[in-house]
Amino acid sequence: MTLQARDLRRMSRGEHDELFLASSAGRIPKGRAEGTALLLPGSRLQSLLAGLVRAFCWKGKIFRPETRDLKNRLGPLGFPAIRAEVYVDTSWFADGPAIILDYSRTSLVAGLIRDEIREVAPGLYLGIVYVGRWRIAGFMLEFPQEEGEPVAG
């Protein structure tokens, strides 16, 4: 059975870590992804926090492989802002490669942030957020079937 987004929402941070470690980078995605913040995974507060973040702060990302970048969808309306470079490089968390979302050269606001994502199921990515080298949160990205077809990375 294929892993579903609802399965990721129910997992603990330890289970997310195991899944990230066991997954490959996958291919760099293309198009619009719905995002879910994973701030206290496995807790009773996770669903509430994720809902608040989605309603008011962060709705997901829009990947543009042709320009090797993305923009985050921010605020209640999902306005595209805060650009990151996207490339494959060595993961800080796990052996091997991950897809890196690097804000260091593209954003004054988020310049200390680096995200790593790995594809855990078709169109479903699990991510880690770093500020500097400090891991601060997790997230997941869901791509609709018609846009979820990844492109070569």
CB of 84 within 8 A of CB of 101?
yes
In a domain, 53, yes or no: yes
Identify each DSSP E strand in 24-107 by its residue range.
Answer: 31-38, 58-64, 69-74, 79-90, 97-102
CB of 152 within 8 A of CB of 114?
no
**Structure confidence by residue, pLDDT tens digits, 44-83:** 999 999 999 999 999 999 999 999 999 999 999 999 999 9
- Whether the pLDDT of residue 153 is over 60: the answer is no
CB of 134 within 8 A of CB of 113?
no
- The pair phi, psi for residue 137, each rounded to 5°, is -165, 175
Query: Alpha helices, DSSP H only, in 1-146?
Result: 5-10, 13-22, 46-56
Q: What pLDDT band is residue 148 in, cutting at 50, 70 and 90?
A: very low
User: Residue 2: its pLDDT value, please?
Assistant: 86
In a domain, 133, yes or no: no
* Full domain range(s) for residue 98: 5-123
- The first and second tokens of residue 131, run together, are 């500020």
Q: Mean pLDDT in the chain?
A: 94
**Domain count along the chain:** 1
User: Residue 137: its pLDDT value, please?
Assistant: 97
User: Residue 113: its pLDDT value, please?
Assistant: 98
| Helices vs. strands in the chain: H and E counts, helices first | 3, 8
**Structure confidence by residue, pLDDT tens digits, 85-101:** 999 999 999 999 999 99
Please tell me the pTM assigned to this model: 0.92
In a domain, 113, yes or no: yes
In a domain, 134, yes or no: no
In a domain, 50, yes or no: yes
